[in-house]
Structure 1
Amino acid sequence: MLYRVEGIVIRSFDYGEGNKIITLYTQTHGKIGVMARGAKKLKSRHAAITQLFTYGEFVFYKTGQLGSLNDGEILEAHYQLREDLHLAAYASYLVEMVDKMVSDNEASEFLFEQLKSALKALQESKDPQIILRLFEMKMLSFSGVAPVLDACVNCGREGPPPFSLSPGLGGLLCAACRSRDPKSIQAGEGTVKLLKLLQQLDLRRLGKIGVKEETKAQLKQFLRAYMDAHAGVHLRSLHFLDQMDKYDI
């Protein structure tokens, strides 16, 4: 069967002497694996469109598990994301989340648009930390394990502050219930409000957001631990992100 789909290259690896196998995240068919014959060769007409992070229209035949690329048109090359070390690390984390947390053929037009918008936002030099936190929230919601942020996850009380965040228990803890999780993270009211905003905000509408470094650190600490506890995936791209932070690369 011949397919013509819009997709984003979320994984690409060499296969044999001159071929590549790419994984596309598509708007209509979810994740699809496609063989691009001869794509490793510099003069190949498939060389550019099979690059990681490329957004394009792909035409391929598929009769079994793996499609065979016939043609394609680049809609957005995202070459800046590959040429800049920092941007490449951030973008790799975004696409690896989709690769590891979305099942084959599990389509979501909304998630496709969120990934496309996240890559575009990185390219437009918007705050990468906010983009990553936003996309993590979208992936958690997509996976059905979004944190509880509108009331205490233990007793249901809606306030007042101070609050703490429990990755293990799944969300917000009021002051009275904080002892339920000694490892909970003390969070300022601004951090909790921003988390709620990130849960609701569409990446297509992301503008310039000024966030204190302390708040960014709390967001990262909570969502990193929450992903570890509830997403059930190991992401290799996190190692390089941590190295960048550690050594200020």
Structure 2
Amino acid sequence: MTAILHKTKGIVLRTAKYGETSVIVTIYTDKLGLQSYLVNGVRSGGRKSGNKAVFFQPAALLELVVYHNELRSLNRIKEFKFSGIYQHIFSDVIKNGVAVFLIELLHKTLRQPEANEDLFGFVEDSLLALDVSDATVTANFPVFFAAHLCGILGFSPGIPSAGLFHSPQLLLDLQSGEFAETPPSHHFYAGRELTLLLVELLQARLPAELKDMKLSAHKRNQLLDLLELYYSLHFPEFGRLRTLPVLREVLG
């Protein structure tokens, strides 16, 4: 089967060295879904290659022309350039830490190569918003992104009914993804305070609304632990988020 040329946008998820000068880069594309590409000569440092490695940093937003053969697990890129140029994400330690966390969470939850333009748009818009956000929004961005990604992937708990919302016994069963008033037989559930914070995150439609959420570092960490557990219960082999300890460090 002959490879066909496609134009697509992409978000770089991971880059691994290959040989002396090449890389294998994993990219989430809007038209082809999750794809891997072999890119030659980007690490040679010669006059021809310039500094092409900068295009393949995690979270980079690219416009691509790619060769695609669906029978191959590794294809090639014909042309690449930035589709959006960040002002801060690659230079600011805190924003880069947040961006890399978002990228790891996305990578861990992508199980099929199929395209999902809604998901791609959400991630692209989130990264662009993060790049220009203030300190408060940046600090709250990881929990906002993780909460809303659940919805796009189809396992969000949603919003509790009015009766449950006002119940002093409100809780979220993390295993079933349902709100309740009676604790389940297992220990995977969140109490009223954290449940209401999660609902508040789900009710925020735009990252700018995070400016009004005055979360302490302790509450943010509790929510991050809660969301990591929630994902691990709904995604086999999810494991632990390797970027989470780094994120805690940069957010203080």
TM over 0.5: yes
Deviation, 1:234, is 3.4
- Deviations 1:91-119, CA, capped at 9 Å, x for gaps: 12211222221134321112112111222
Equivalent of residue 150 in structure 1, options 160, 163, 170: 160
Equivalent of residue 234 in structure 1, options 222, 238, 245: 238
Q: Is the 8 A contact 2:141 2:207 kept in 1?
A: no
- Partner SS, residue 134 of structure 1: helix
Residue aligning to 1:18: 21
Matched, 1:50 2:52: no
Q: Distance in 2 between matches of 1:148 and 1:9?
A: 29
Q: Distance in 2 between matches of 1:248 and 1:86?
A: 7
Residue aligning to 1:132: 142
Count of residues in Structure 1 that have an aligned counterpart in Structure 2: 241
Residue aligning to 2:32: 29
Deviation, 1:15, is 0.8
Residue aligning to 2:43: 40
Q: Cα–Cα, structure 1 residues 49 and 206, in superposed 2: closer, same or farther, change >3 Å?
A: farther
Q: Distance in 2 between matches of 1:240 and 1:57?
A: 26
- Identity of counterpart residues, as a percentage? 23
Matched, 1:75 2:80: no
Residue aligning to 2:215: 212
Q: Cα–Cα, structure 1 residues 227 and 80, in superposed 2: closer, same or farther, change >3 Å?
A: same
Q: Distance in 2 between matches of 1:235 and 1:41?
A: 35
Structure 1 spans left out of the alignment, 5+ residues = none
Q: Is the 8 A contact 1:114 1:135 kept in 2?
A: no
Deviation, 1:159, is 4.8
- Partner SS, residue 17 of structure 2: strand
- Deviations 1:164-198, CA, capped at 9 Å, x for gaps: 33323434231xx136455533223xx54442343
Matched, 1:167 2:170: no
- Partner SS, residue 32 of structure 1: strand
The CA RMSD over aligned residues, in Å, is 3.1
- Deviations 1:55-98, CA, capped at 9 Å, x for gaps: 12111222332221111121224373333333333212211222
Residue type of the alignment partner of 1:187: R
